Amino acid sequence: MSSNNALTSNRSWGSYSAFLLAAVGSSIGLGNLWKFPYELGEHGGTFLYLYFACVLLVGFPLIVSELMIGRLGQANPLRGIGQIVQEFRYSILWKLIAWMGVVTSFLVFSFYSVVASWILFYTMQSVTGAYMEAPAEIVRHSFKALLRNSDQMLIWHSVFVLMVVSVLAQPVRKGVERAVRLLMPVFALFVVWLVFELPFIGDVESAKAFIFHFDWEEINSEMIVSALAQALFSLSIGIGILILYGSYLSEDRPLLLGGGAIAIFDSMFAVAMGFFILAIVFNFDLQPDVGPSLIFETLPVAFSQVSEQSILAASSFFLLLLIAALTSGFALLEPSIAMLVDRTGWSRRLAAWIVGVVAWGAGLLSVFSFQTGSFGFYYFGTEYKHGYFDLFNIIATDILLPLTALLVTMFAGWVLPKRITYDKSNLRPMFTYRIWRFCSRVVAPIIIGIALFIVLAVPA
């Protein structure tokens, strides 16, 4: 797409390592540290194996597909796919991929920022030692008290949005690239430190037995949907960010290395954090199946009982969560900002603040979903009580992400010419390309199609 070379060169990555840090940072976020542990705690070890299968057979091929589409389009998802459609004279309906990605990422951010507000609150509580040696019952109920305190959540929700937008308002190399270069190494150091601390504060054997247990009879339709949704959510597939990051990537860079790094590091962090959290849960005889509130209801209780290291352990863990929330927050709003800049000609700073204000307003629906009077509903036989927070979570992760991913894999595998996908994917040797193409054309569409059918046809 030569028409956009100037644009691309002005917003390209400073180095391949910067791309890898940003791409890995977009995937290693709250999907790994918040969502994966509670999904694993609810479903048991069998869920882990389904998750791995979805990452290998669906996630990795889709990562390569999105990066390749971005490289081919050389622009934000909407403009890039529009240029591909125009050049090859495809139906303009394929532009739905871009629109759905932007909508999905924005919708995810609307409830994601609320989870981030909880993290900010607990980070401050941990740093100040608020829970040090406090009675377990008081610490456990502090999360429920936070959910009833809309003023507190509103403040921290606002702070998080401000932090994300302040970075995204800068040019790519000064904003996102500089932030991930700083945050990701710090993130890695926190993880290494926590792993070394685990034997002292966690029940390693019980966690191992729980996580690596497998039973065919435990597999059900809800677990299949959850495993696929978790894989797509944690890998940042279906929101347009990898298409956008791919457009910033030069032609000679291998997608196999980038895609593999994203899938491998994402899975490693997910398992590591799931193991870490559940080991602590079992060590203090807490329940692993409490759902989205797992890390907020259980870990502060555990940390409060480790008197000598309470402040350090709790602060380190919640700072780790905060870094993950920020890097993923960058990825979720970046497609909307890039599209707005491209379509209006506004400066990146203006577009970032406009998107930020709208995202802040949309997040208010989730902020106030925990107050008295919020609506509830049933999904897969389970009652959900937190209104828009639960509704946006389910719509985005169980419907929009898989649907967008299905369109992406069909577009890359069936619509784009073979010679183009072979050239732009830069998958070598040939058998590597053939495996990707088979998964994109056959395996991934079948798995995603089954999951979507389950969600749309038998959710009750």
Backbone angles phi, psi at 377, to 5 degrees: -160, 165
Is the distance from CB of 427 to CB of 345 less than 8 angstroms?
no
What does the pLDDT read at residue 458? 64
Is the distance from CB of 184 to CB of 24 less than 8 angstroms?
yes
What does the pLDDT read at residue 3? 36
**pLDDT by residue (tens digit) across 422-459?**
988 888 888 999 999 999 999 999 999 999 999 988 65
What does the pLDDT read at residue 312? 75
When the pLDDT of each residue in the chain is averaged and rounded to a whole number, the result is 85
Is the distance from CB of 177 to CB of 22 less than 8 angstroms?
yes
Is the distance from CB of 181 to CB of 21 less than 8 angstroms?
yes
Q: Which of 149-158, 245-254, 298-307, 418-427 has the highest mean pLDDT?
A: 149-158
More confident residue, 134 or 214: 214
CATH superfamily of 2-457: Amino acid/polyamine transporter I (1.20.1740.10)
More confident residue, 303 or 203: 203
What does the pLDDT read at residue 310? 64
What does the pLDDT read at residue 91? 92
Q: What is the dihedral of CA 179, 180, 185, 186, to 10 degrees?
A: 50
Selection from 406, 418, 395, 390 nearest residue 448 by Cα: 406
Residue 139, Cβ neighbours under 10 Å: how many? 23
For the chain, the domains span 2-457
- pTM score: 0.87
User: Is pLDDT of 159 > 60?
Assistant: yes
Separation of alpha carbons 356 and 350, rounded Å: 10
What does the pLDDT read at residue 13? 63
**pLDDT by residue (tens digit) across 373-398?**
678 888 888 888 899 999 999 999 99
Separation of alpha carbons 271 and 433, rounded Å: 28
What does the pLDDT read at residue 204? 87
Please count the CA atoms within 13 angstroms of the CA of 211 that sit on its side-chain side.
Answer: 23
Which one-letter amino acid corresponds to residue 25?
G
Largest pairwise CA distance in the chain: 67
Separation of alpha carbons 77 and 135, rounded Å: 51
Q: Average pLDDT for residues 85-107, to the nearest whole number?
A: 92
What does the pLDDT read at residue 75? 80
What does the pLDDT read at residue 49? 96
Q: Percentage of residues in the chain with pLDDT exceeding 90?
A: 44
Q: What is the DSSP letter of 3?
A: G
Question: Lowest-pLDDT range, 18-22, 164-168, 449-453?
Answer: 18-22
Q: Average pLDDT for residues 308-321, to the nearest whole number?
A: 75
Q: How confident is the model at residue 7 (pLDDT cuts 50, 70, 90)?
A: very low
More confident residue, 6 or 68: 68
What does the pLDDT read at residue 8? 37
More confident residue, 343 or 388: 388
More confident residue, 232 or 427: 232
What does the pLDDT read at residue 130? 77
Q: Average pLDDT for residues 136-149, to the nearest whole number?
A: 83
